[in-house]
């Protein structure tokens, strides 16, 4: 019950445009610096190097979403291109995760298409990869259409599927051969499209990962859930799935010990590192996921 109230409360805060805008001016507050690596790519780079040194690969997310202004969307592309330049200059093991609404999906589909294509091209020139994060269900079909169209030209692009969606397994089958990150899903969605019960979401998660691996497709397992991780480990061992076919992924600042244990056990591992001024929506979704994260944030508020 408390979990449900907390989830609804922080989910609605995450969509609040006024607070989102205001937070840009505050700097990293409310303990967000524990889970956001800095305001600029230059400030995040040392953390990326530390993660690489510990055996972890990284995917970097320049925070921002639901952009409704063309100028802002164009600036977002320039910032992402610059981010790729900086990653290349520093020679780090780090891909880029992006959200289509940051690149203008809600402003003009044609503009967004042009921008994501430019980004894939730029990444390809550096031998780097773009991962398109999955946003809320209202953008789901468009995101998959973009992915399929991009894959006709670029093989350095993948996306994310969410196990809370009823169509999760069907879409995993449809995307055989394309690198996918499987996650549970971070948005509040209607029961007409999404499971609401944790057991269903978890069960679907494991089935989606197994489906993609059985289809011999590269799979990123994006979860902090040790029970699911144990289940996937057992599945891959039993079915002799090579460790090069999959990687575990977790968010920066969460379960650092477990992240390192997986690395030490010889699994491929990638930390998802967010940075940037638009930290507010991302941070509120983390608070919505787990009531314990609120305590974590409160501790951060007073220790900063
Ligand atoms: P969940 O929150 O369901 O927790 C399950 C159990 O794991 C808990 O009961 C607890 O036992 C344990 N646990 C979890 N967190 C813990 C912690 N911090 N400390 C100790 N124990 C903990 N979503 C989306 O919609 N689109 C996207 O593109 C992405 N991208 C993405 C990338 C990566 C790398 C990750 C890890 C996640 C995402 N997500 C996402 C978010 C995802 O959908 C989901 O909301 C969160 O990962 C939370 O779900 P979990 O599976 O991590 O565990």
Q: Is residue 172 part of a domain?
A: yes
Bridge partners for 219 per DSSP = 180, 246
Q: Is 181 labeled as catalytic in the residue annotation?
A: yes
Is 197 within a domain?
yes
Beta-strand relationship, 157-162 and 219-222: unpaired
Kindly state whether residue 7 falls inside one of the protein's structural domains: no
Q: Is 185 annotated as a binding residue?
A: yes
Comparing 291 with 96, the larger pLDDT belongs to 96
Query: In angstroms, rounded to a whole number, what is the distance separating the alpha carbons of residues 28 and 44?
Result: 13
Residue 66 included in any domain:
yes
Partner residues linked to 58 by β-bridges: 94, 271
Distance from residue 160's CA to the centre of ligand 1 (Å) = 13
In a domain, 71, yes or no: yes
Residue 139: CB atoms within 10 A of its CB come to: 19
Dihedral (CA of 36, 231, 133, 154) sign: positive
Closest CA to 276 of 30, 31, 35: 35
Q: What is the CATH number of the domain that holds 174?
A: 3.20.20.220
Residue 271, ligand 1, Cβ within 6 A: no
8 A C-beta contact, residue 115 and residue 73:
yes
The answer as to whether 4 is a domain residue is: no
- For 250-265, write each residue's pLDDT tens digit: 999 999 999 999 999 9
Q: Which domain does 262 fall in, by range?
A: 37-278
Q: How far apart are CA 240 and CA 154, in angstroms?
A: 30
Q: 295 pLDDT exceeds 90?
A: no
Asked whether 281 lines ligand 1 (CB < 6 A), one says no
Q: Would you say 285 is a known binding-site residue? A: yes
Residue 32 lies in a domain: no
On whether 260 is known to bind a ligand per the annotation, the reply is no
The active-site residue out of 106, 133, 202, 278 is 133
Structural domain count, the chain: 1
Under the banding of pLDDT at 50, 70 and 90, the label for residue 27 is: low
Q: How far is the CA of 304 from the centre of ligand 1 (A)?
A: 25
What are 217's two structure tokens?
């497709």
Residue 292 forms part of a structural domain: no
Cα-only R_g, the chain: 18
ipTM (interface pTM): 0.98
Asked whether 272 lines ligand 1 (CB < 6 A), one says yes
Residue with tokens 């449809």: 174
C-alpha angle with apex 262: 239 to 210, nearest 5 degrees? Answer: 30
């Amino acid at each position: 019950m408390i979990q449900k109230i907390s989830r609804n409360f922080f989910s609605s805060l995450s969509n609040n445009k006024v607070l989102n805008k205001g937070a840009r001016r505050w700097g990293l507050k409310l303990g967000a610096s524990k889970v956001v690596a800095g305001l600029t790519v230059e400030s995040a780079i040392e953390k990326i190097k530390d993660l690489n040194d510990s055996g972890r690969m990284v995917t970097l997310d320049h925070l921002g979403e639901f952009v409704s202004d063309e100028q802002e969307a164009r600036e977002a592309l320039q910032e992402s291109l610059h981010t790729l330049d900086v990653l290349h200059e520093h020679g780090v093991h780090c891909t880029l995760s992006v959200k289509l609404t940051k690149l203008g999906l809600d402003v003009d589909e044609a503009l967004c298409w042009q921008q994501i294509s430019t980004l894939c091209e730029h990444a390809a020139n550096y031998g780097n990869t773009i991962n398109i994060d999955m946003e809320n269900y209202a953008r789901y079909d468009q995101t998959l259409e973009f992915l399929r169209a991009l894959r006709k030209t670029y093989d350095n692009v993948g996306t994310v599927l969410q196990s809370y969606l009823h169509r999760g397994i069907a879409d995993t089958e449809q995307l055989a051969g394309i690198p996918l990150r499987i996650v549970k899903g971070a948005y509040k969605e209607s029961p007409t499209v999404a499971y609401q019960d944790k057991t269903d979401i978890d069960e679907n998660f494991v089935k989606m990962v197994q489906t993609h691996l059985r289809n011999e497709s590269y799979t990123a397992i994006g979860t902090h859930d040790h029970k699911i991780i144990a289940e996937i480990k057992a599945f891959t061992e039993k079915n002799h799935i090579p460790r090069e076919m999959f990687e575990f992924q977790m968010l920066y600042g969460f379960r650092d010990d477990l992240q390192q244990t997986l690395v030490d056990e010889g699994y491929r591992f990638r930390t998802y590192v967010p940075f940037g001024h638009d930290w507010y929506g991302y941070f509120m979704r983390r608070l919505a996921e787990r009531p314990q994260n609120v305590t974590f944030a409160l501790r951060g508020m007073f220790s900063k």
